[in-house]
């Protein structure tokens, strides 16, 4: 039943880990259009990362599946670039080399050496990190590492960008900076984005739609909220915008009233 | 020369980094901080030793007697009167060259074996239990067997070094390979880094700190083993030198040799650690 502009389709997806009696995710159904920015929100442990990992191809689906641009996802690949929660930069490579490794691996058939060098620098520039290109991950701050992680993902020219709580480990100010940065990049490149988060403000500020997961196990999509705020968005102006406040309230309602976190 | 003879330069009104208010230690102070405490302890221990061992019935020579007895040995490690009558430098070189050979072999074979059992769970299941037993065999217990097999002192000693130092190298390498963090494996999967390229660009660098830990333990064990092995096999070498000195009741020579053995072992350990730091580019702690 895919409608015409479905780009990424998750259909009837059930994921169970071996030995676990109950599946983590049950019957998840989601369609994402090209260029859309979708946030997935839910309580800790409900299966957000699991969902993202299946889309990335890092985890197999037990039932159902994922189709991207007409092709079924069976294994990981650079068309679904992931920015991991904990940056996952290779510590023995410089920032440049981290991005360059991904570029060399994924684009060596279509670009010459010189072009790949330029492309690597271009993507470092996109996240404003050219100045740190010769530093190693241990020598830069958490926010900078996350920027390099985003540059690495973008450099693969992915069809969809998968972000797993990309700013979760950052302080509020750095987080706001990076959110603005991601909005700018999304506007400039029109990348399709699926972002995991547990920050309600972040979800409302960045996304076109917010997918809310119910509590696990057997988690599924409880509700999908459309965020009808025109872009570019400005966090200061939106703070008093009734539509923003309303969307925020709706997500909070879902998370804390109807699907409050079960006692741990 | 005096500040009063010249007008003072205008003080710039920019804020200075706070650091300039904290007096920074000069290089000399820093060096002294590292060198002085052990030096003081050394002198104190030397004095204590001198006092305790100065009586007529003392079993061991005091430092002053070591100095008079073994002055030639201490001051000229390079003399060579032919046969076994050589300076300590030559004995140490003989021991070190055995260690170098045995340890180099152990490093190559150990890293390769470690990579194998780290990657293949079949090899792991087959070899690991055997290694776990063999690695507890004391180095010298291998010596008679290796003398029987090689029928010569030199290769036997090298084999003892090899067999002593190989276990920590194998085991640490295997652990390093098996513990490549899931994060790095995910990254490799997303960019489709597979096969030999995956091995070279992800597994080896991720395991490198572990491998160097193994090498460092291995070189320490080698040095422990060579001194003991040389006592038994004879020939030029610091181990036999000590044994020979004992047979001629030359305790002062033994004490001097022990100091050299300790310092050499220390340098070996630091050298491997240094190379490790260079090769892993300081990511070892990460
Ligand atoms: N490898 C695994 N084997 C078995 N169970 C797992 C495995 N990985 C995750 N789980 C379980 O699946 C559930 C969902 O995990 P997941 O990591 O997707 O949660 P999450 O929503 O991303 O949580 P968080 O917000 O804390 O990151 C958890 O209850 C967890 O215990
Ligand atoms: Mg998660």
pLDDT tens figures, A34-54: 999 999 999 999 999 999 999
Quick one: average pLDDT of B81-87? 82
Rounded to 10 degrees, the C-alpha dihedral A238/A239/A243/A249 comes to 140
Q: In this structure, is the dihedral angle defined by the CA atoms of residues A164, A170, A172 and A176, taken in order, positive or negative? A: negative
Q: Give nearest CA residue, ligand 1 atom 25.
A: A44
Query: pLDDT at position A97, please?
Result: 96
pTM for this model (two decimals)? 0.82
Q: Give nearest CA residue, ligand 1 atom 24.
A: A44
pLDDT at B12 over 70: no
Distance A217 CA to ligand 1 centre (A): 10
Higher-pLDDT residue of B260, A1: B260
To the nearest whole number, what is the mean pLDDT of chain B?
A: 88
Query: pLDDT at position B1, please?
Result: 43
The helix (run of H) or strand (run of E) holding residue B151 is none
A77: left (phi over 0), alpha (psi -120 to 50) or beta: beta
The answer to whether the CB atoms of A76 and B201 lie below 8 A apart is: no
Q: How far is CA A251 from CA A41, A52, A209, B218, in A?
A: 9, 20, 11, 59
To the nearest whole number, what is the mean pLDDT of chain A?
A: 92
pLDDT at A1 over 60: no
Predicted confidence band at B280 (pLDDT cuts at 50, 70, 90)?
A: confident
pLDDT at B13 over 80: no
pLDDT at A104 over 90: yes
Higher-pLDDT residue of B19, A175: A175
pLDDT at B6 over 60: no
Q: How many CB atoms lie within 10 A of CB A214?
A: 18
Q: How far is CA B229 from CA A33, B45, B226, in A?
A: 74, 30, 5
Quick one: average pLDDT of B217-231? 92
Give phi and psi for A12, each to the nearest 5.
45, 40
Q: Name the residue facing B186 among A78, A88, A138 (closest C-beta).
A: A88
Query: pLDDT at position B283, please?
Result: 62
Nearest ligand, CA A16: 1
Query: pLDDT at position B2, please?
Result: 47
CATH number of A18-79+158-264: 3.40.50.300
Predicted confidence band at B3 (pLDDT cuts at 50, 70, 90)?
A: very low
The answer to whether the CB atoms of A101 and B190 lie below 8 A apart is: no
pLDDT at B20 over 80: no
Tens digit of each residue's pLDDT (9 = 90 or more) over A185-232:
999 999 999 999 989 999 999 999 999 999 978 899 999 999 999 999
pLDDT at B4 over 50: no
pLDDT at A253 over 90: yes
Query: pLDDT at position A118, please?
Result: 96
Tens digit of each residue's pLDDT (9 = 90 or more) over A67-82:
999 999 999 999 999 9
Q: Which residues of A touch B201 (CB under 8 A)?
A: 101
Q: 3-state class of A83 per DSSP? A: strand
ipTM of the predicted structure?
Answer: 0.90
Residue of B nearest to A103 (CA): B191
Query: In percent, how much of chain B has pLDDT > 70?
Result: 90
Tens digit of each residue's pLDDT (9 = 90 or more) over A121-163:
999 999 999 999 999 999 999 999 999 999 999 999 999 999 9
Query: pLDDT at position B18, please?
Result: 52
Check if A49 has its Cβ closer than 6 Å to any atom of ligand 1. Answer: yes
Query: pLDDT at position A2, please?
Result: 44
Q: How far is CA B133 from CA B129, B130, B160, B166, B216, in A?
A: 7, 5, 17, 13, 21
pLDDT at B177 over 60: yes
Substitution target in A73, A92, A102, A136 with the highest count of B β-carbons within 10 Å is A92
Give phi and psi for A114, each to the nearest 5.
-65, -40
Of A148, A130, A128, A127, the closest CA to residue A138 belongs to: A148
The residues facing A83 across adjacent strands are A163
Range in A235-249, B79-93, B101-115 the model is least confident about: B79-93
For chain A, what are the domain ranges? Answer: 18-79+158-264, 89-157
Architecture of domain B85-280 in CATH?
Orthogonal Bundle (1.10)
The answer to whether the CB atoms of B191 and A101 lie below 8 A apart is: yes
Quick one: average pLDDT of B33-52? 92
What is the least distance, in Å, from the CA of A70 to any CA of chain B?
Answer: 19
List, as own/partner pairs, every contact residues B277-286 make where C-beta atoms lie below 8 angstroms and the sequence separation is at least 24, other chains included.
Answer: B279/B208, B279/B212, B280/A92, B280/B205, B280/B208, B280/B209, B280/B212, B281/A92, B281/A136, B282/A136, B282/A138, B283/A91, B283/A92, B283/A136, B283/A138, B283/B205, B283/B209, B284/B208, B284/B209, B284/B212, B285/B209, B286/A91, B286/A137, B286/A138
Using a CB cutoff of 5 Å, list residues around ligand 2, an ion.
A 49
Q: Which residues of A touch B186 (CB under 8 A)?
A: 56, 58, 76, 82, 84, 88
Q: Are strands A160-164 and A80-83 parallel, antiparallel or unpaired?
A: parallel
Helix ranges (H only) for chain A are 48-56, 95-107, 113-126, 142-155, 172-189, 200-206, 235-238, 242-253
* Separation between Cα atoms, residue A27 and residue A219, nearest integer Å: 8
Check if A98 has its Cβ closer than 6 Å to any atom of ligand 1. Answer: no
Query: pLDDT at position B23, please?
Result: 63
């Amino acid at each position: 039943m895919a409608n015409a502009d479905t780009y990424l389709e998750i259909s009837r997806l059930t994921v169970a880990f071996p030995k676990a009696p109950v599946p983590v995710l049950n019957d998840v159904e989601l369609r994402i259009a090209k260029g859309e920015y979708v946030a997935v929100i839910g309580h800790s442990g409900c299966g957000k990362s699991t969902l993202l990992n299946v889309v990335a191809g890092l985890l197999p689906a037990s039932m159902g599946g994922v189709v991207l641009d007409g092709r079924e996802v069976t294994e990981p690949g650079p068309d679904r670039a992931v920015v991991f929660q904990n940056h996952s930069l290779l510590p023995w490579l410089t920032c440049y080399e981290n991005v360059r490794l991904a570029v060399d691996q994924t684009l060596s058939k279509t670009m010459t050496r010189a072009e790949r060098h330029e492309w690597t620098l271009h993507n470092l520039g996109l996240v404003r990190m050219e100045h740190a290109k010769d530093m190693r991950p241990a020598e830069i701050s958490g926010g900078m590492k996350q920027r390099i992680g985003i540059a690495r993902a973008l450099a693969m020219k992915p069809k969809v960008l998968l972000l797993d709580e990309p700013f979760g480990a950052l302080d509020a100010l750095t987080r706001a900076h990076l959110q603005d940065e991601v909005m700018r990049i999304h506007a400039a490149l029109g990348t399709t984005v699926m972002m995991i988060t547990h920050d309600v403000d972040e979800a409302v500020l960045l996304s076109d739609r917010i997918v809310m997961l119910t509590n696990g196990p057997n988690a599924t999509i409880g509700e999908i909220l459309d965020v009808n705020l025109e872009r570019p968005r400005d966090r200061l102006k939106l703070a008093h915008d009734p539509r923003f406040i309303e969307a925020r309230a709706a997500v909070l309602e879902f998370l804390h009233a109807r699907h409050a976190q079960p006692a741990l | 020369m005096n500040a009063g003879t010249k007008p003072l330069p205008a003080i710039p009104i920019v804020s200075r980094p706070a650091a300039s208010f904290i007096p920074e230690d000069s290089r000399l102070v820093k060096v002294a901080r590292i060198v002085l405490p052990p030096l003081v302890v050394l002198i104190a221990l030397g004095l204590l030793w001198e006092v305790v061992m100065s009586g007529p019935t003392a079993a061991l020579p005091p430092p002053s007697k070591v100095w008079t007895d073994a002055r030639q040995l201490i001051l000229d490690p390079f003399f060579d009167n032919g046969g076994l009558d050589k300076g300590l430098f030559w004995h140490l070189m003989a021991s070190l060259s055995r260690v170098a050979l045995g340890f180099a072999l152990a490093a190559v074979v150990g890293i390769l074996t470690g990579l194998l059992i780290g990657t293949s769970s079949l090899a792991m299941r087959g070899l690991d239990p055997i290694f776990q037993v063999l690695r507890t065999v004391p180095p010298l217990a291998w010596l008679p067997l290796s003398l029987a097999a090689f029928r010569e002192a030199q290769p036997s000693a090298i084999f003892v070094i090899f067999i002593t130092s190989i276990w920590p190298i194998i085991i640490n390498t295997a652990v390093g390979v098996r513990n490549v963090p899931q994060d790095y494996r995910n990254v490799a999967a997303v960019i489709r880094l597979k096969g030999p390229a995956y091995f070279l660009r992800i597994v080896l660098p991720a395991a490198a700190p572990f491998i160097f830990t193994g090498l460092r333990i291995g070189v320490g064990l080698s040095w422990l083993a060579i001194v003991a092995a040389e006592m038994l096999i004879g020939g030029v070498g610091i181990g036999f030198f000590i044994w020979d000195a004992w047979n001629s009741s030359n305790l002062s020579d033994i004490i001097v040799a022990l100091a050299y053995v300790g310092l050499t072992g220390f340098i070996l350990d630091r050298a491997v650690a240094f190379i490790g730091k260079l090769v892993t580019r300081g990511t070892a702690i990460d």
